[in-house]
């Protein structure tokens, strides 16, 4: 059961309604397909599948200050993207929540851009706190950042997203063992359980099995939700926030569809790392209609 939030810092700053969030999500999806189309590379599938989560966090859930960006983020909630290949959704959400100009999305994956193929701090892009892309490292980093918050007496929350295929990396399980043992209870981790990875379905490739049972056995509080519906996702995040401060970290297993929102990309690993061609882009944009499109 959801508990009352442990402090005001968890109270959402923005009061966006679900219809408003849906409009933002559609605009973000337009950015994603246009970004990867423009450079004929990048990862649209996972980006489209995780759009509701990132929009929820940056436009409703997290207390954060986009400008000026502060790496240490004292007093701010912070998000880490472990599966860095879904950078298009991360960049779009960062830009549209005010970390950097939306026009900069046009530089994605191009020479001399701050928007590297995978997220990096090296070019000082506001909103990015760690490089990611080589998989399996984000849960450790987020756990360290959460422990730094505890040392600082900082009551804000650390969020991290991992892919489900990414859970095949051993380091994830080192961190999964560590965080409950060290009572890192200011941490909410998400798994993008879309069931797909490059070579096919995760069940066939990695045999992830019963993730709830696995993480519970490691000492996590585990919640499950549909990650593509704000109506289910937002209450689950709220429930997760209510579980903070009780000596255990929280893991949200989020069922999503890769490519969600674009019918021909949905549910298939084939759109993991492939960009749409001109015709496919036009089809996708027709499906992603917003009241007032503000494409970059």
Tokens of 139: 């849960």
**Degrees (nearest 5) of the Cα angle 211, 58, 79?**
50
Tell me whether residue 44 or residue 117 sits nearer to other proteins (CB atom): 117
Nearest distance from residue 120's CB to other proteins, in Å? 7
Tokens of 247: 């000596």
Nearest distance from residue 121's CB to other proteins, in Å? 5
Closest CA to 243 of 259, 216, 275, 221: 221
With contact defined as beta carbons under 8 Å apart, do 114 and 125 qualify?
Answer: yes
Nearest distance from residue 21's CB to other proteins, in Å? 27
| Cβ count within 10 A of residue 266 | 16
Tell me whether residue 183 or residue 270 sits nearer to other proteins (CB atom): 183
Tell me whether residue 39 or residue 131 sits nearer to other proteins (CB atom): 131
Q: Which residues lie near other proteins (CB under 8 A)?
A: 71-74, 78, 120-122, 129-134, 136-149, 151-152, 154, 170-171, 174-175, 177-178, 182
Tell me whether residue 72 or residue 295 sits nearer to other proteins (CB atom): 72
Tell how far CA 149 is from the center of its chain. 20
With contact defined as beta carbons under 8 Å apart, do 257 and 228 qualify?
Answer: yes
Q: Put residue 9 in one of left, alpha, beta given phi > 0 → left and psi -120 to 50 → alpha.
A: alpha
Nearest distance from residue 66's CB to other proteins, in Å? 16
Tell me whether residue 172 or residue 244 sits nearer to other proteins (CB atom): 172
| Cβ count within 10 A of residue 289 | 9
Nearest distance from residue 172's CB to other proteins, in Å? 9
The most distant pair of C-alpha atoms in the chain lies apart, rounded to whole Å, by: 53
Nearest distance from residue 33's CB to other proteins, in Å? 27
Tell me whether residue 181 or residue 204 sits nearer to other proteins (CB atom): 181
């Amino acid at each position: 059961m959801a508990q009352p939030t442990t402090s005001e810092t968890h109270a959402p700053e923005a009061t966006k309604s679900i219809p408003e969030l849906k409009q933002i999500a559609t605009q973000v999806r337009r950015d994603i397909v246009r970004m990867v189309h423009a450079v004929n590379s990048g990862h649209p599938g996972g980006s489209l599948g995780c759009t509701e989560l990132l929009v929820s966090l940056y436009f409703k859930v997290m207390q954060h200050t986009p400008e000026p960006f502060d790496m240490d983020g004292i007093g701010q909630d912070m998000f880490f993207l472990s599966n860095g290949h879904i950078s298009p959704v991360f960049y779009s959400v960062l830009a549209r929540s005010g970390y950097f100009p939306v026009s900069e999305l046009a530089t994605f994956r191009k020479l001399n851009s701050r928007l590297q193929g995978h997220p990096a701090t090296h070019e000082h892009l506001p909103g990015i706190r760690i490089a990611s892309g080589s998989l399996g490292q984000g849960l450790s980093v987020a756990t360290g950042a959460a422990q730094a918050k505890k040392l600082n007496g900082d009551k804000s929350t650390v969020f991290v997203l991992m892919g489900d295929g990414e859970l095949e990396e051993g380091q994830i399980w080192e961190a999964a063992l560590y965080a409950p043992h060290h009572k890192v209870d200011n941490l909410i981790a998400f798994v993008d359980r879309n069931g797909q990875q490059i070579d096919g379905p995760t069940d066939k490739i990695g045999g992830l099995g019963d993730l709830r049972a696995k993480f519970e056995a490691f000492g996590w509080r585990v919640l499950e939700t549909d990650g593509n519906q704000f109506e289910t996702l937002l209450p689950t995040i709220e429930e997760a926030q209510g579980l903070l401060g009780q000596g255990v970290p929280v893991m949200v297993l989020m069922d999503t569809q890769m490519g969600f929102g674009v019918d021909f990309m949905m549910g298939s690993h084939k759109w993991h790392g492939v960009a749409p061609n001109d015709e496919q882009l036009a089809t996708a944009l027709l499906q992603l209609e917003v009241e007032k499109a503000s494409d970059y």
